[in-house]
Amino acid sequence: MRVEQLRQEFSVEVEFWAYDLRPGLPPEGLPRDLAYRDARYTSDYVQYLWRVAQESGIRLGLPPVVANTQKAHEATEFAKEQGAADSFSRAVFAAYWEGEENIGEIDTLCRLAQEGGLDDQALQQALESGRYTRRVEEQMEWSRREGIGGVPTFIFDGRFALEGAQSYDMFKSVTERILATRGDG
């Protein structure tokens, strides 16, 4: 993926923040046909997304349920505290897009945590108690205030934002400009 490639070439830090692309989904999610009945994506846009995913080695599926991602974001906060945000986020992404699983289900998230070496029982307790709910809601509120409108969104140095699927050359260009202004590049 492009972020991993950027990390290999430059000394960058990545911090995962929650964003709710589809606010208002019920906790169990919605069947895809209901969730997207009013969506108006052009065929060019959809083909571009599939091509970018394929170039990155990702096989995108169409999960039958569009998940409410609140619990997945909370689980990512748990993983972040364990130093495993990167690997857990990749596992959740793969489970949803490649495995076509409902990542809004606590059982799915706990299984992914266990498979990644995290304490699934501690995660289940954290999710059921709402330990990370407020933190995730604050991150989502910040995103709305800042005008973020899509995923993924990458914010560089608190100054530059790239939204949506971008080429590695774009990531590299922004990083090089930031380092040059700091005198690091």
Predicted confidence at residue 185, as pLDDT, reads: 54
Q: How far is the C-alpha of 26 from the C-alpha of 68, rounded, in Å?
A: 7
How would you write the pLDDT of the chain (185 residues) with one tens digit per residue?
A: 677 888 888 887 878 888 888 888 999 999 988 888 877 677 777 788 788 778 877 888 889 999 999 999 999 999 999 999 999 999 999 999 999 999 999 999 999 999 999 999 999 999 999 999 999 999 999 988 988 888 888 888 887 888 877 778 888 898 898 888 877 65
Task: Return the residue matching tokens 């990512």.
Answer: 76
Instruction: List the structure tokens of 87.
Output: 């690997």
Do 170 and 5 form a contact (C-beta atoms < 8 A)?
Answer: no
Domains delineated in the chain: 2-139 (3.40.30.10)
Could you tell me where the beta strands, DSSP code E, fall in 34-131? Answer: 65-66
Packing angle between helix 70-81 and helix 120-129, nearest 10 degrees? 130
Which H/E stretch holds residue 154? Answer: strand 153-156
Instruction: List the structure tokens of 115.
Output: 């498979």
Return contacts of 50-54, CB within 8 angstroms, 24+ apart: 52/165, 53/97, 53/165
Parallel, antiparallel, or unpaired: how do β-strands 160-163 and 153-156 relate? antiparallel
